[in-house]
């Protein structure tokens, strides 16, 4: 008689979709960084290098969700869902609170700025959706196992 290792329980659909959306958010952030190279004051290569190093670490963290470790889920939730989301929305919210006009922004923005803003919206929507999916009942049960 041979003993075999128990089969790993596959991640529920909500976790698989959450991972895909986290990766989409990271890709949107990377694309936004590259679009900003087209602006009059582009980021420097060291700034881009640091940003892409962070994206690489976050990608590894997101992929670790597939292990089912609850600590990975909470790390992603806090770092990407909390700190990351705050870093994405602080600037536009501050701008709005200081009297910024969305209509004036849209009327005066060039193509790279509009593309960057669109990617930021995709990024935030992907993060918020991924965060919700990661805590659906099936995901909760799977991460608790």
- DSSP-assigned letter for residue 99: T
Per-residue pLDDT tens digits for 94-117: 999 999 999 999 999 999 999 999
Q: What is the pLDDT of residue 5?
A: 46
Q: pTM of the entire structure? A: 0.89
Q: What is the pLDDT of residue 6?
A: 47
**Where along the chain do its domains lie?**
13-144
Average pLDDT estimate for 33-50: 93
For residue 2, name the pLDDT band (cuts at 50, 70, 90).
low
Per-residue pLDDT tens digits for 12-27: 999 999 999 999 999 9
CA 23 to CA 133: how far, in whole Å? 14
For residue 123, name the pLDDT band (cuts at 50, 70, 90).
very high
Report CA-CA distances (Å) from 40 to 13, 44, 117: 43, 12, 16
Q: What is the pLDDT of residue 19?
A: 98
DSSP element (H, E) containing 8: none
Per-residue pLDDT tens digits for 69-103: 999 999 999 999 999 999 999 999 999 999 999 99
Euclidean distance between the first and final Cα of the chain, in Å?
28
What mean pLDDT is reported for the chain? 93
DSSP element (H, E) containing 76: helix 70-76
Q: CB within 8 A of 86, min separation 6: which ones?
A: none
């Amino acid at each position: 008689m041979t003993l075999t290792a128990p089969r790993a329980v596959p991640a529920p659909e909500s976790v698989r979709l959450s991972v895909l959306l986290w990766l989409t958010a990271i890709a949107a952030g990377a694309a936004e960084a590259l679009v900003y190279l087209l602006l009059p004051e582009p980021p420097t290569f060291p700034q881009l290098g640091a940003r892409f190093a962070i994206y690489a670490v976050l990608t590894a963290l997101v992929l670790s969700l597939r292990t089912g470790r609850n600590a990975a889920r909470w790390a992603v939730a806090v770092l990407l869902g909390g700190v990351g989301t705050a870093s994405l929305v602080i600037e536009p919210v501050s701008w709005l609170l200081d009297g910024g006009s969305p209509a004036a922004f849209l009327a005066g923005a060039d193509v790279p700025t509009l593309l960057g803003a669109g990617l930021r919206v995709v990024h935030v929507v992907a993060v918020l959706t991924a965060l919700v999916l990661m805590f659906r009942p099936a995901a909760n049960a799977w991460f608790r196992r």
